Amino acid sequence: MWAVAVMTFLALAASATKPAQAQAYSVLHTFTNVPDGSAPYPLIQDKHGNLYGTTEWGGALCGGGGATCGTVFKVDRVGTETVLYRFGGGNDGANPVAALVQDAAGNLYGTTRGNGAIPAFSTLFKIDPSGHETVLHVFDPSFQVCCQDSPLALDEAGNLYGMSPYAGEADCGVNQVGCGSLYELTRSGKLKLLHIFKGPDGIRPEGGLVRDAKGDLYGTTYLGGDLSCESIGGPSGCGTVFKLSSDGKETVLHRFSGHADGANPLGLIQDPEGNLYGIAGFGGDLNCYEGAGCGTIFKVDTSRKFSVFFTFTPDIMPEPSFAIHLLRDPEGNLYGVNQIGGANFSGFLFKIDASGKFTNLFNFPSTAEVQDGSVPMGVARDSAGNFYGSMLIDGSRANCEFGCGTVFKITF
């Protein structure tokens, strides 16, 4: 499949949309596995311009056999990296792959996936500004609760909200795993199960939750909904957008059909008015990816009406591979990342303005320039309009077979 993708993109590179203006790409940090981590996931930025993220691997040796468990790191405005914490496996957790969330005091919260090759549980953790870690919760694997891979939501009282992609009853979903669940961890440390998915309301919630002013939660499931819909993973539904009201009632706001509306949503963001936006990874124009579709951007307005905001086409997105989340600026422009397309077959950063106009802002450097990194995982944007992000692989290959990844900046 990858070989086919390579040939497809090389053939279409000449027709790729060109950047609208000059930019400068720079590498702020190159990971080296031990001690600073490898395989960085999406970043967040604080009000001072510092970047925070997790690496799935690297840090310290753990679990035997030369395995590593991942890190939480900080990169300041001038590119100095600090490892805030190195995971050790076991009840401490391993392999954090979700973006972090930060409170007003500067504390960071996140999850570890765990339950992989290294003996380690899925956990929910807190890192204070000095780098001290507190395990807030160790998930019970007997309830199929593993593989935490979505960012948390944080309310004003300090309660955390999250989603487990495979929790629940083992006879639900695909591969004899659960359809997923939603939970709350109260500030006092009590875990409350908020909802268990059954299939028609969704399978595999991922991408994180957003919370409105009323305390209602919103999110997406990658599969489920209309179970007759055949998505990229087979006939297990094309995904849903859902609402969980503050009184615990779940409502399916949209079931994707795999056609004009899209398929396989990747998560939501919310604007100040309460409108929701997200990327559907497939569907839309079906002339991409062997009929799976090029993907769409959708909107759910404040009345909770679903609409398609933008449909990708084969000349823009011949074979979709999106970073999970959109980014929105104060003017209402939306930004996103394709991971493998563009003029250099290495991904591109795009903008869609409030009227629905598409612009390719930046083609990432060729994968032949391994020192720059490859596979962009998403972007953050500062007030000056510069973008920051992480590259999952490449950079330095001295201690990682495919490279340990990088943190980059695009100056506009």
Give per-residue pLDDT as tens, 16-51.
Answer: 444 445 689 999 999 999 999 999 999 999 999 999
Give the Cα separation of 85 and 90 in Å (integer).
15
Give the Cα separation of 356 and 358 in Å (integer).
6
Q: Does residue 2 surpass a pLDDT of 60?
A: no
State residue 256's pLDDT score: 98
Tell me the average pLDDT across 188-194. Answer: 93
Provide the strand spans (E) within 89-248: 101-102, 108-112, 123-127, 133-138, 153-154, 160-164, 181-185, 191-196, 203-205, 210-211, 217-223, 240-244
State residue 290's pLDDT score: 85
In whole numbers, what is the pLDDT of the chain averaged over residues?
90
| Each residue's pLDDT tens digit, 197-238 | 999 999 999 999 999 999 999 999 999 999 999 876 667 899
Helix H or strand E encompassing 24: strand 24-30
Sign of the dihedral defined by the CA atoms of residues 270, 271, 272, 275, in that order: negative
Tell me the average pLDDT across 316-336. Answer: 92
> Model confidence at 358, in pLDDT bands (50, 70, 90)?
very high
| Each residue's pLDDT tens digit, 137-153 | 998 876 656 689 999 99
State residue 22's pLDDT score: 67
| Residues contacting residue 255 through CB under 8 Å, at least 6 positions apart | 225, 226, 229, 237, 238, 239, 240
> Higher model confidence: residue 117 or residue 322?
322
Taking Cα atoms as reference points, which of 368, 312, 369 lies closest to residue 337? 312
Q: Does residue 73 surpass a pLDDT of 60?
A: yes
State residue 16's pLDDT score: 40
State residue 143's pLDDT score: 60
Q: Does residue 106 surpass a pLDDT of 90?
A: yes
State residue 114's pLDDT score: 82
Tell me the average pLDDT across 164-182. Answer: 84
| % pLDDT > 90, the chain | 78
State residue 234's pLDDT score: 65
Rounded to the nearest 5 degrees, what angle is found at the Cα of 282, between the Cα atoms of 148 and 181? 25
pTM, full prediction: 0.92
